[in-house]
Structure 1
Amino acid sequence: MNAGSAAHVYFITGGGGYFGFRLACTLHKESSERILLFDARPPSEALPEGVEFVQGDVRDYAQVEKALRGAACVFHIASYGMSGREQLNKKLIEEVNIQGTENVLQACLALGVPRLVYTSTFNVVFGGQEIRNGDETLPYLPLHLHPDHYSRTKSLAEMKVLKANGSPLAGEHAGVLQTCSLRPAGIYGPGEQRHLPRIVGYIERGLFKFVYGDPNSLVEFVHVDNLVSAHVLAAEALTEKRQNCAAGQAYFISDGRPINNFEFFRPLVEGLGYSFPKLRLPISLIYFFAFITEMVHSVVGRVYNFQPLLTRTEVYKTGVTHYFNMDKARAELGYTPREYDLKEVVEWFKSRGHGRKPANSPTKKLILDVVLFAVIVALVLSFLPVVGQ
């Protein structure tokens, strides 16, 4: 299609990913306008009629500008480094999250795109400290306190997006750029490909033998369809019809039901036919293990880019209480999260052949238990003072 033929009203960076594609499908159902997905990789599912895909890299300004021409609203979802070994690739994280966001903003201003909804993260204010019922008045976590590159760069990118709100549009287009930012909790839903398959893999390999942290610690999650709803509402709240009420604002988005991280996943574990672990370890022990794992990865990562069992950021995100008040999103966006559970997620995995298989042989089980015991003993001993010191 030629750039000047018909406006791509909705432009979604990261549109090849799970959430971006789900957002596109919802917009397609609710609107007759064209939708353009922009990503380095195409979606894993077939595109609905009226939804188009352009392969491109947000790090390349020329590609962004060419693809974005004709857009009326941008959902900037593309990011890198959210979890696992991705968190350890500083260079790529900075290029995608900071440079990519700068490119999108520059293209919006140059092409006269009036609306931009940015997908941020809780982590712009959270760095391992306890937060109960926090709201948008919380200051950004000082950049040097972020223990991972993803959170630091997402914080910088959000600052740039909100600062750009009200910037004049170039050329013949009147008006200014209206921007807002959504800060979602951890996303879940059937078909989610970033976190859930990794968790299920650990369960199936017999690595989910313990939980950690205070059993009363609380975190939050957001179902993909609730997050889609929040993005659609945010885009509408950047229009004159809604008095541009979201312009320059940030919003926490979740299901609104704080829960212990491990209890949240209990239905998944048991639904796939596995036993929920009874052993509980101190979070300090697991954090130290994650630190050692990251140090090993920094040495051998270029030769063997293994997947860490956990990173330090993942330890505190799953084991330290942090949840947020959504009164602002409810009042200004009209966001009302629906209630979901993990039943559909369990069924999705079962339909793809996952679930408890015949038990391991006694010998294999004994070896796994011995290895786990040895790791725990080694970690405990590492905390003990050296004799004579």
Structure 2
Amino acid sequence: MSKQKDTCLITGGSGYFGYRLACSLQAKGSAVVLFDVTPVRGPLPAGISFFQGDIREYPQVQRAVSGVDCVFHAASYGMSGREQLNRRLIEQVNVQGTRNVLKACVEMGVPKLVYTSTFNVVFGGQVIENGDESLRYLPLHLHPDHYSRTKSLAEMAVMGANGASLKAGAGVLSTCALRAAGIYGPGEQRHLPRVVGYIERGVFRFVYGDPDSRVEFVHVDNLVSAHELAAGALVPEREPSSAGQAYFISDGRPVNNFEFFRPLVEGLGYPFPTLRLPLSLVYFLAFLTEMIHRLVGPLYNFQPLLTRTEVYKTGVTHYFSMAKARAQLGYEPREHDLTEAVQWFRSRGHGRRPGRSALGPLLLNALLVCGFVALALSYLPGVGG
């Protein structure tokens, strides 16, 4: 008699990571349900179904988790750009949505939940070198953005729910959290298109911060592997068990943020910027941009060039040890780079056209520098009358 397939639910399943995780789980024999407010683009492979619903609505979450063996809770809001400035929706999705998922798991008898967390739960702009899971949560009032603060609250709720008695059936709910670095890969739809847009519009004309600063990224396939390993270890009787544990997950290769993107810039035929600005200046300008957005956002929801959190995340050294993930989960990240992403963008018509004059970029560089300096000086005490 063949073993019945496990059924996995992925919240935020229509997103880039959620869909890649679903395809991997399906290929390994699991039945997968994608739960998202946004429909999946294109047809679904056999063994993957879609449940359209809003994580903020508990009855919809409850129906979605019915009959599920494991929940991968990847849904979130406010990770980057102007989304970071929508406090109300961030709170509703990241905090209340997570509470809804945990409550539904307990009431519907779901025994396992893997939460997709973030480095940001411990990072708020301070230098961290080879940090590990013994680091405490960053105090909530020190988070420079609502996304990081609410992801911390959500992870705390997930950790607190580990061991909760299930109301439907015997057993307990086992939970763990994977603190992911910035995700990349071919077809990624959140960060890379924004970077490419800046490159193609001539906005990416400077870098900032210490050239020796180091950050981390994680290829989508490595993150998928980590989630599958964590779910497999999410059994209280297993030794070691991932139940009640948090893990940092990345490619394990700290790199300067801008050097990481050099292959993308040059692979699309553009020159890599040589102008380097002080981190403090760029942070100050990001702060001003956020203030302007707060004033005019209700009328014009423009996309900030950078937010304060994005300046910290890209310009301040923070990377983490994965010794715990290796030892307890057997996680071994494979080597990847941006070659696939370059090919993906080029196959869709992106890339510099030959014969473009270099005068425009030079003038834009000069205008950017003058504009930054003038704007910064205008806000200094005693300057500008």
Q: Structure 1-normalised TM-score?
A: 0.94
Aligned counterpart, 1:260: 256
Q: 1:130 is aligned with what amino acid?
A: V
2:325 aligned with 1:332, yes or no? no
Aligned counterpart, 2:352: 356
Give, in whole Å, the separation in 2 of the partners of 1:383 and 1:282. Answer: 17
How far is the alpha carbon of 1:358 from its aligned partner?
Answer: 4.2
Aligned counterpart, 1:122: 119
Q: Secondary structure at the match of 2:165?
A: coil
CA deviations on 1:209-238 (whole Å, 9 max, x unpaired) are 110000000000000000000000000001
Aligned counterpart, 2:109: 112
Aligned counterpart, 2:279: 283
Q: 1:309 aligns with which of 297, 302, 305?
A: 305
Q: 2:89 aligns with which of 83, 88, 92?
A: 92
Whether the 8 Å CA contact 2:114–2:177 is kept in 1: the answer is yes
Q: 2:208 aligns with which of 209, 212, 217?
A: 212
Give, in whole Å, the separation in 2 of the partners of 1:54 and 1:156. Answer: 26
- After superposition, residues 199-278 of structure 1 pair within 5 angstroms as 199-239=195-235, 242-243=238-239, 245-278=241-274
CA deviations on 1:123-174 (whole Å, 9 max, x unpaired) are 0000000000000000000000001000000000000000000000003x11
Whether the 8 Å CA contact 2:265–2:271 is kept in 1: the answer is yes
Aligned counterpart, 1:70: 67
How far is the alpha carbon of 1:243 from its aligned partner?
Answer: 4.1
Whether the 8 Å CA contact 1:285–1:379 is kept in 2: the answer is no
Q: Secondary structure at the match of 1:141?
A: coil
Quick one: percent identity of the two aligned structures?
A: 70
Q: Secondary structure at the match of 2:13?
A: coil
Give, in whole Å, the separation in 2 of the partners of 1:361 and 1:342. Answer: 27
2:288 aligned with 1:298, yes or no? no
Whether the 8 Å CA contact 1:236–1:242 is kept in 2: the answer is no
How far is the alpha carbon of 1:7 from its aligned partner?
Answer: 7.5
Q: 2:37 aligns with which of 14, 37, 40?
A: 40
Q: Secondary structure at the match of 1:378?
A: helix
2:138 aligned with 1:141, yes or no? yes
Aligned counterpart, 1:177: 173
Unaligned runs of 5+ in 1: 1-5
Whether the 8 Å CA contact 1:134–1:323 is kept in 2: the answer is yes
Residues 311 and 153 (structure 1), Cα distance of their counterparts in 2 relative to 1, 3 Å cut: same
Q: CA RMSD in A?
A: 1.8
Q: Secondary structure at the match of 2:172?
A: coil
How far is the alpha carbon of 1:357 from its aligned partner?
Answer: 2.0
Q: Secondary structure at the match of 1:374?
A: helix
- Equivalenced residue count is 382
Give, in whole Å, the separation in 2 of the partners of 1:384 and 1:99. Answer: 40
How far is the alpha carbon of 1:63 from its aligned partner?
Answer: 0.3
Aligned counterpart, 2:100: 103
